[in-house]
A and B are shown apart, each in its own frame.
Chain A
Amino acid sequence: MCLAIPSKIVKIENNMGIIDVEGVTRETNLILIEDARVGDYVIVHAGFAIRKIDESEALESLKILRKVAAMEFDG
């Protein structure tokens, strides 16, 4: 299962992308999506980017997720 956290592609090399999730960078495999470009937002599932999503949609849901996370950490 995936958390559906939108992640921004900051670098691409040979079908592998470096993604940025809230300042944390990770590697993700890009072969399951079409025409991945630096700057795209993707949903990552088990190490693979499985979908591209629209930037405004991504930013909106990041905002929500940030709120939810803040709630959780607040206890």
Chain B
Amino acid sequence: MSAKPTRIGTLALNRRGLLKATGAAAASLAAPGFATRRARAANPIEINHWSWLAASDGEVWAKMIADFNEAHKDKGVQIKMEVVPEEQYVTKVLAAAATGKAPDFGWGTAGKGAQLARDAVTVPLDDLAAKAGLDLADFSAYSISASRYPKYDNKIFMIPMDLMSLQPEINLDHVKEAGLDPAKPPVDGATLLEWATAMTKREGDKVTRSGIMMTGSGVQPTVTWGIVAEQLGFQRASDDLKTACVNPEASKKAMQWVLDLFDKHKVSTRDVTDRYKAFGTGQGSIFWTGPWTLNGYVGQKLNFKTALFPKIGDKHVTYFEMGGLELYQQADTARYEATMQAVKWLSDNSFLWTTVGRGASPRKSILDRPDYKTTGNSWDVRGAFVDGMSFATVGEIPVVNGPNFTIYSGGNFLAKTLEGVWSGQTSIDDAMTQIQTQWQADLDEG
């Protein structure tokens, strides 16, 4: 095993008594399980797992863990799962790791764990996966490449579990009402606007039902800009992660494209606060979102189908997100092997997770199963999220300040800067300059 020399083990918190006492106390309190110190008996092994999945996907994941425990009840290995709120997850992992009490493994998002990789909180998995017999060749090449951090030895830091993208969900009642053919959804910028215009409802100059579901701030306009900008040839960072904002003119065009939805074509309104609810209640006709919405909309019997994201620019791309399992630094490195075996089992048996849970499977053997398309939600609503993975490439920028680059965010530096554009407070040129300056500084930092 080639785990990096632990920097946690050489924590300099003991440089001063003050630091030691405060840091340890705060970190211990932040870590779940503080009150009940877990037994780390060698046999039977209890593998500690943290998850932040809490919606309907959380229930499916809980079933996966229960299935593992059932399959291993006589084999001396059990997984103990704790659910930690998503937004506190990384902080809690850091706090737990600083005190040597990190869980054995947990959920991560590809590209978002650069800091954990840098600080050796997450464990490189190349050797462990090979030793456990996990067939990495069965995973899609892109999923494995997204699991690496080029700036941190380019090792694999997570085992991919599901692939997600943003694709348009289309309200079929609105399609019928507008006399459009549901079998021929929009494929490019022109047909997208044509459909959006046909389905938009207005009272005077005011849009009362958006052809393209948008919000005036937050995630939706930011991620839309991110996808369209990359389609038009913009890159947030160069391939070598050294230069920020390749082809800024394309980015500016994308900002204008989003603004035009509100002000020129008038197919979207800025007045929507809750985009999920608004689409669910028929206040929008086309809504690009992720597979995590399917169970909810199917449950409420919304009449919709999912299509592939249209090709608005020269490059056909859409938003990419990958969930996976990462192993955290342990004082007792012997635990890695058992943990990796558990992760392997969960990956090998992730059919349920990637049909009923969320996302598409990163594993070829699962995608090739004849029942993959017929299990879970109907292919009409689920299919685009599987087929669309072929062009879902707009993911995270895998650097420590990666959160500043995230396009699927409602409150980061990027979203706040772009919100100035959407609200007319900042010019497109000024916003572009601010973004370029900040991102270059972020890339320089590593």
Q: Are A and B a genuine interacting pair, yes or no?
A: no
A binding-site residues for B, Cβ under 8 Å: none
Q: Which residues of B contact A (CB under 8 A)?
A: none
